[in-house]
Chains A and B, each alone.
Chain A
Amino acid sequence: MKPHPAYVTIGNSEVILQGSLSELGRLAAETSSFCRQHRLADEVAFELNLALEELFVNAVQHGGCEGLENAVEIALRMTPQSVEVDFADRGRPFDPRFAPAPDLVAPLSDRHLGGLGIHLVRRMMPDLEYRREGEWNRIAMRRRLRPRDRQTEPQVESQPSESI
């Protein structure tokens, strides 16, 4: 079966974030709007949002991006087999591929609760590349798409959107 033409169209979405956790709402809105536009299942939006939140929060809380203007640039690209994600931040050099693994087996009372975020990014996005370019950390990731990641039902687009 030929893929639906909409899936072959390469679509881009870009967002620039300030170095503040208050940007998380906008990040979530941009991610879900990209996924709606490309008729991707909610699970894909969840996982893309998760990977991007973890990298963003890490850059703000540990990378020195707190309070920086235009601290983070994100690009989402739709390809026939996957969503490609570029994440760039102006924080200290940080290669997520070599971040220490969190302790997942220690008893709760001894467990150090750090490192979970980057662990989740690596689990969700196994195809992860990193390079340092000037003052930027540049991370390229790919979320491969399975047939069930596509929404099969046509979305209702004719209804007026709610406005406040």
Chain B
Amino acid sequence: MIQLTQEQKNGWLVVSVRGRADAEAADELESGLTNALEISSRVAADLSALDYISSAGLRAVLQAARAAQIRQSEFAVCGLSAPVRKVFDMSGVHQVVKVHGELPC
């Protein structure tokens, strides 16, 4: 189960992601993030309410980052909890996706 909500904040379109980004929810996450990139050229995924992420969820985030690169838009993730950050770090995702501590979420 995953819930996505959008909010404009300091020039960013912030997509708050709540729940579990598992293989069942990955498509919904990817389309939520890529839809946001169609609306705004600066998109941030706020993951502070994300309880869980697997490689399928990570791939959704990477696909969004890839879509942003093609559009020459900005894409960032922020609000990573310790276990979520560990998964990002182990996957080398932090090298290709901007990871913010606080701002812009």
Q: In this complex, what residue of B is CB-closest to A22?
A: B24
Q: In this complex, what residue of A is CB-closest to B20?
A: A28
Q: In this complex, what residue of B is CB-closest to A46?
A: B83
Within 8 A of B (CB), among A31-84: 42-43, 46-47, 49-50, 53-54, 57, 61
Interface residues on A, range: 20 to 34
Q: Contacts of B52 on A, CB cut-off 8 Å?
A: 28, 46, 49-50
B66 contacts A119, C-beta separation under 8 Å: no
User: Is A1 an interface residue when CB atoms closer than 8 A count as contact?
Assistant: no
Q: Contacts of B22 on A, CB cut-off 8 Å?
A: 24, 28, 53
Interface residues of B (CB under 8 A from A): 1, 20, 22-24, 52, 54-56, 58-59, 62-63, 65-66, 69, 82-83, 87, 90-92, 95-96
Interface residues of A (CB under 8 A from B): 21-22, 24-25, 28, 42-43, 46-47, 49-50, 53-54, 57, 61, 102, 104-105, 107-109, 111, 113, 116-117, 119-120, 123-124
